[in-house]
Structure 1
Amino acid sequence: MIRRAFASVVFVLLAALPARAIDIQQITSPGGINAWLVEDHSIPFTAVTMMFKGGASLDLPGKRGAINLMTATLEEGAGEMDQTQFAEALESLGAALSFDVSDDALVVSTRALTENRDQLADLAKLSLTEPLFQQEALDRVRAQVLSNIRAGESDPQTIASKEMAKLMWGDHPYGTSTSGTVESVTALTREDMIDAKNLVLARDRVVVAASGDITAQDLGLFLDRVLGDLPSVGSAPLPQPAIFQLTGGDTVIDWDSPQTVVSFAQAGLPIDDPDFFAAFVANHILGGGGFSARLMEEIREKRGLTYGVGTGLSNGLYGDSWIGGMASGNDKVAEAVGLVREQWALMAQSGVTDQELANAKTYLTGEYPLRFDGNGRIANILAGMQLAGFPADYVNTRNAKIEAVTAADVKRVTARLLHPDQLRFVMVGRPEGLGPDAETVAAPE
């Protein structure tokens, strides 16, 4: 996937937080590891999420995909246990240990009953400090990664996303897939896996959150048990901010298909911008609100040009954008693209109505409690908050920030940001009726 996972973390923070007040304890383990904790002793179950800042963006030059491959191989045996024995040990506990990575963070998630928590801590520690990286397991996981890369080369949506990322971010890691290329992944060795692990796993890079049947004291012991033997300081510098390079216009990638897949984007704004919540509300009205959004109404409901169109604010640790996507028949896509630009300009010029604003606020402040359930979800959200730089009280102030947005705020931020001539459309297909300035790019071989 070229889309960065952190963007979805931010979406969860904005769209899926509890209406009830949450008591977040900020603790420090005896070994100096900071964490956020929500205690809940109603069931004997605990979830702990650990996010290592930097993630796949720390890939060395020429080694793109190494950290992704390493992450996928962490649970394939550790210590004195091969991949089968490690999986059996985890299964015997009825516990979950999973790993994921984006260009913003490598994520370690643990879930266990209270009685099995210490044993899970030992397995997690082994996977992070003594992974085997056996050649057989490495080759098997590599084959899966290569299969996914090759599948993406024949998927129009993936092709569009990759081209957009390259245009948007250039040589920054955001500009390429965390999975790497067939060539780069094929060349990776076991030694590259060891190097990749050492680049990203360090105590000064980690943020931690826990929720469930665990006290502050026990969480501190758990964290020291899992993370205490990792290096105290990361060996690689974190990436510099990405420079947004996208310009307006149309890019066409010729693809033999009766419909065209469309990705579009422009500059966004960081989550600490004073106008961020106004932009968040504006996006819901413009294209993020499903069937109630303007783009869906104009392009699907009124004209039947697409099955669906949507937009979102995409925020990473190193760069931000305002993105969207749709698909349309080759003979209809030019009209659909024109309507996106038209609605972009209309909102920038006129803002939103009082009714649109009220409806958006009602939805955004009312629907998110339905999604906030379970200790695992809470731990993920709290860790993501720390990674993004949110304060601990955000969970209890988020709705007030939405309610405080006025029509004037939305008008200000849309006039500032929404410029249809700055929208870039990447189209994979054989669109008809585009202007003479559309740029053609060769399809991947």
Structure 2
Amino acid sequence: MTGGASSRRFGASRSLLSLAAATLMTIALAPASLAQSETTRIQRVISPGGIEAWLVHDTTLPLVAMEIAFIGGAAQDPAEKPGVASLTSSLLDEGAGDLDSRAFQDRMAEKAIELRFDASRDSLGGSLRTLSENVDDAFALMALAVNAPRFDDEAVERIRQGQLAQLRRRLNDPSSLASLGWSAAAFPGHPYGRPVAGTLDSVPTISRDDLKAFVGRTMARDNLKIAVVGDITPEKLGPALDAMFGALPAKAQLTPVPDVEPRGLGTDVVKTLDVPQTSIVFGGIGLKRDDPDFIPAFVLNHIFGGSAFSSRLFSEVREKRGLAYSVYSHLAPLDHTALILGGTATKNERAGESATLIRSEYQRLLTVGPSEEELEDAKSYLIGSFALRFDSSAKVASQLLQIQIDKLGIDYIDIRNQLVAAVTLDDVKRAAARLNEHPALLFSLVGKPEGLTQ
């Protein structure tokens, strides 16, 4: 989870959870096969109070998995106090209603319930896993967590210290520093430029009032998305949605976040750290998720750096030159920007060579485009691997939630592979031309990089 977490919450429940471990392991590995199903398996459930959830009713195993998200996330942190969303999310299951932290955690352990929350830039999310026989208890705990978090002093200080410890560890983690450095350089003065987990200066200043205010502003019914998978009927889920979320405010009071494009493109940002390797994060302007050319760009990125074994970056950076063990890229469409991001790590003396090669390969792909063979290989992999996103109830719930967040439609699972299969060479070249309107990449390097030319 994002931010500091209590070691007690995992340790104290271990003996009780072990009683259900074999059952939960079997359930977690059970295939859902949703990618091959009819869309009628996904039901839109509307509660009596008007709260919507997407449900896959599956009685194969006695498990219920729920994923929720409140749109807003760390982008809603006060500018002077980054880390509020992260600290809030870490505290929602640390006592709520008439249950203090220990009592709340013990209640989860007694029933083998997993409930956790985390924060990302654009949302605050929650995950619930329970055996179906304990679903009423699990839903009751979810209701307490989102409606009546306590934020007791002891819990706040314990989780705060955990979050600070995590931030201190990151000071010596080149990969984390490279990622933070990229965001800060790309989005100065914007919420996306602030660290989600906060800083060593900001986290100590976050008060209980800040946490309560964040919950009051951002956790409401109109910005809530819900996905449920497992052994629960629509008839039971509908009223349960009202019991869990019906008392939330009708509308969130979100601070407007401006759309933004990354700055510093074509430059290098370097942080010196005495380590033998340089960690590299690079990125530039991508396409938003609702852009008609997103799927062609998605296929194009797979050819560039999205495949662990067949991408151009893998071939050029690792296979041919041995510059790095791994190198990757991915499209990152956020709510208020669209990015292509990637990363690698290499010897300090070869950092400049690696950065130059990544830039040149990106430019070459955008200018010339892929071959027909590369396109067909990418499509075949992306279509064939799609089912792996649905091989457990938890994964299915997560995918359904993301589809709602991205506003892709309830039939997206059934049409996604068709969309990929329909991509032509002209489509990917058109997407490449779109990306080539802003081809420069910003690099963030942490270590003692040599040979940089920017």
The TM-score normalised by the length of structure 1 is 0.91
Separation in structure 1 between the aligned mates of residue 353 and residue 184 of structure 2, nearest angstrom: 26
Separation in structure 2 between the aligned mates of residue 32 and residue 20 of structure 1, nearest angstrom: 27
Separation in structure 2 between the aligned mates of residue 20 and residue 246 of structure 1, nearest angstrom: 45
Contact in 1 for aligned 2:262/2:284 (Cα 8 Å): no
Cα distance change of structure 1 residues 407 and 187 upon mapping to structure 2, 3 Å threshold? same
Deviation, structure 1 residue 347:
1.0
Unaligned runs of 5+ in 2: 3-32
Deviation, structure 1 residue 252:
2.1
Q: Which residue is equivalent to 1:431?
A: 449
Are positions 1:154 and 2:146 aligned together?
A: no
Deviation, structure 1 residue 250:
2.0
Deviation, structure 1 residue 352:
1.1
Q: Which residue is equivalent to 2:18?
A: none
Q: Which residue is equivalent to 2:306?
A: 288
Unaligned runs of 5+ in 1: 3-15, 439-445
The amino acid of 1:381's aligned partner reads: Q
1:355-434 alignment to 2 at 5 Å? 355-418=373-436, 422-434=440-452
Are positions 1:178 and 2:171 aligned together?
A: no
Computed over aligned residues only, the root mean square deviation of the Cα atoms, in angstroms, reads 1.8
1:1-16 alignment to 2 at 5 Å? none
Q: Which residue is equivalent to 2:356?
A: 338
Q: Which residue is equivalent to 2:77?
A: 59
Give 3-state SS (helix, strand or coil) of 2:324's partner: coil
Q: Which residue is equivalent to 1:18?
A: 35
User: 400-409 or 417-426, which moves further after superposition?
Assistant: 417-426
Cα deviation 1:244-269 (Å, max 9, x = unaligned): 32421222222222221111111000
User: 285-294 or 59-68, which moves further after superposition?
Assistant: 59-68
Cα distance change of structure 1 residues 295 and 420 upon mapping to structure 2, 3 Å threshold? farther
Deviation, structure 1 residue 32:
1.0
Question: Which runs of 4 or more aligned residues in structure 1 lie more than 4 Å from their structure 2 counterparts after TM superposition?
Answer: none
Cα deviation 1:157-196 (Å, max 9, x = unaligned): 1111111101222222111111111111101122222112
Contact in 1 for aligned 2:367/2:436 (Cα 8 Å): no
Deviation, structure 1 residue 74:
1.1
Deviation, structure 1 residue 433:
2.1
Q: Which residue is equivalent to 1:124?
A: 142
Deviation, structure 1 residue 421:
5.8
1:245-394 alignment to 2 at 5 Å? 245-394=263-412
Are positions 1:100 and 2:122 aligned together?
A: no
The amino acid of 2:309's aligned partner reads: F
Separation in structure 2 between the aligned mates of residue 394 and residue 184 of structure 1, nearest angstrom: 41
Cα deviation 1:118-162 (Å, max 9, x = unaligned): 121111111112222111111110000001111112211111111
Contact in 1 for aligned 2:182/2:269 (Cα 8 Å): no
Give 3-state SS (helix, strand or coil) of 1:422's partner: coil
Q: Which residue is equivalent to 2:28?
A: none
Q: Which residue is equivalent to 1:88?
A: 106
Deviation, structure 1 residue 113:
2.3
Separation in structure 1 between the aligned mates of residue 249 and residue 37 of structure 2, nearest angstrom: 38
The amino acid of 1:324's aligned partner reads: G
Deviation, structure 1 residue 306:
1.2
Give 3-state SS (helix, strand or coil) of 2:65's partner: strand
Contact in 2 for aligned 1:342/1:420 (Cα 8 Å): no
Q: Which residue is equivalent to 1:141?
A: 159
The amino acid of 2:135's aligned partner reads: R
The TM-score normalised by the length of structure 2 is 0.89
Identity of aligned residues (%): 39
Separation in structure 2 between the aligned mates of residue 245 and residue 215 of structure 1, nearest angstrom: 49
Separation in structure 2 between the aligned mates of residue 224 and residue 351 of structure 1, nearest angstrom: 51
Separation in structure 1 between the aligned mates of residue 73 and residue 136 of structure 2, nearest angstrom: 26
1:17-56 alignment to 2 at 5 Å? 18-22=35-39, 23-56=41-74
Deviation, structure 1 residue 420:
8.4
Separation in structure 2 between the aligned mates of residue 216 and residue 103 of structure 1, nearest angstrom: 32
Cα distance change of structure 1 residues 419 and 329 upon mapping to structure 2, 3 Å threshold? farther
Cα deviation 1:252-291 (Å, max 9, x = unaligned): 2222222211111110000111111111111111111112
Give 3-state SS (helix, strand or coil) of 2:78's partner: coil
Cα distance change of structure 1 residues 394 and 161 upon mapping to structure 2, 3 Å threshold? same
Deviation, structure 1 residue 18:
1.7
Give 3-state SS (helix, strand or coil) of 1:78's partner: coil
Separation in structure 2 between the aligned mates of residue 183 and residue 367 of structure 1, nearest angstrom: 43
